């Protein structure tokens, strides 16, 4: 059955829930940790912890600040036996997280959305610790990626560029079993290009790696659900459409879906599993 990866944004500026899970002065517990536990109770098999927004236009965050945001949550989750993914493009942050994981480092997932701009040190860090790595298709950073959407055949070119990124990991000594691929919905893609990739998820599954699908609450869904005056549906009101795409991703054979709202997507995945019991 397709797994659920619950999103925990420990950022002030993420497009959907920025600031919602930041610690409060004098508070006895960390809101982010409480939210992670709720997502796990609702069916999230993996918690994806991020300290830097990757939305278009977001300002970059230094690794030290990123680590300051995520480490207070990472350690308790690991101690509680939760499977954790760390959403980072910084090798220094990946290394710090893996060192924190200790003898569980090989279970940790590093979710790197930097794509063709992957830092040269990141494959080396993954090889050194034996961690799992999500390689995401992307052509730029948060400031430039939406200017890099020129494709002749978006599906073929995204597949080819993912294979280029994959080669850097294989050449560094990372095994194919450690690699998870993500087509990068919303990263250096127009709305129409996102839909074309979603229609062809089976071609990504055919690469032979686990496939992570992440479309939760993204802008192309806001455009799809726009009202009669072309006002985009707010991010927090896109969960039903997200669940529909989670159902589709599961039917296409994706390994996991990355979502903000766990409960509705858990229902969608259960329905997909009922229709495809052998999947």
Distance CA 76, CA 217 (A): 28
Q: What is the pLDDT of residues 124-139, one digit of tens each?
A: 999 999 999 999 999 9
Q: Judge whether 210 counts as a catalytic residue.
A: no
Average pLDDT value for residue range 14-30: 54
Residue pair 177/104 in contact by the 8 Å Cβ criterion: no
pLDDT higher than 80, residue 56: no
Q: What is the pLDDT of residues 150-206, one digit of tens each?
A: 999 999 999 999 999 999 999 999 999 999 999 999 999 999 999 999 999 999 999
Strand partners, 182: 136
Whether the model clears a pTM of 0.85, i.e. scores above it, the answer is yes
Q: Judge whether 95 counts as a catalytic residue.
A: no
Helix 63-79, helix 91-101: angle, nearest 10 = 20
Q: Which of 68, 218, 233, 238 is catalytic?
A: 218
**Nearest Cα to Cα of residue 89 among 124, 114, 64:** 114
Distance CA 143, CA 76 (A): 33
Q: What is the pLDDT of residues 198-223, one digit of tens each?
A: 999 999 999 999 999 999 999 999 99
Any idea where the domains of the chain sit in the sequence?
Answer: 3-275
Q: Report residue 147 CA to chain centroid gap.
A: 21
Q: Report residue 227 CA to chain centroid gap.
A: 28
Strands 210-213 and 256-259: parallel
For domain 3-275, give the CATH number. 3.20.20.20
């Amino acid at each position: 059955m397709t797994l659920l990866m619950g999103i925990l944004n420990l950022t002030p500026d993420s497009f959907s829930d920025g600031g919602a899970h930041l610690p409060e002065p004098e508070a006895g517990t960390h809101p982010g940790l409480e939210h992670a536990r709720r997502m796990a109770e609702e069916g999230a098999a993996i918690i994806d912890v991020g300290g830097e927004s990757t939305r278009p236009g977001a300002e970059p965050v230094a690794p030290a600040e990123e680590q300051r945001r995520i480490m207070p949550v990472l350690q308790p989750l690991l101690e509680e036996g939760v499977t954790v993914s760390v959403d980072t493009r910084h090798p220094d942050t990946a290394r710090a997280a893996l060192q924190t994981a200790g003898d569980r480092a090989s279970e940790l997932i590093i979710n790197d959305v930097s794509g063709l701009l992957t830092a040269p040190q990141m494959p080396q860090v993954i090889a050194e610790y034996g961690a799992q790595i999500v390689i995401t298709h992307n052509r730029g950073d948060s400031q430039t990626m939406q200017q890099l959407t020129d494709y002749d055949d978006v599906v073929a070119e995204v597949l080819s560029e993912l294979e280029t990124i994959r080669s850097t990991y294989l050449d560094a000594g990372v095994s194919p079993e450690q690699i998870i691929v993500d087509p990068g919905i919303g990263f250096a893609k127009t709305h129409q290009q996102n839909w074309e990739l979603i229609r062809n998820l089976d071609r990504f599954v055919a690469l032979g790696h686990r496939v992570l699908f992440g479309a939760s609450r993204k802008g192309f869904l806001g455009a799809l659900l726009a009202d009669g005056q072309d006002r985009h549906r707010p991010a927090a009101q896109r969960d039903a459409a997200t669940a529909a795409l989670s159902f589709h991703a599961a039917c296409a054979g994706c390994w996991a879906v990355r979502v903000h709202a766990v409960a509705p997507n858990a229902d969608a995945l259960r329905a997909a599993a009922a229709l495809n019991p052998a999947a």
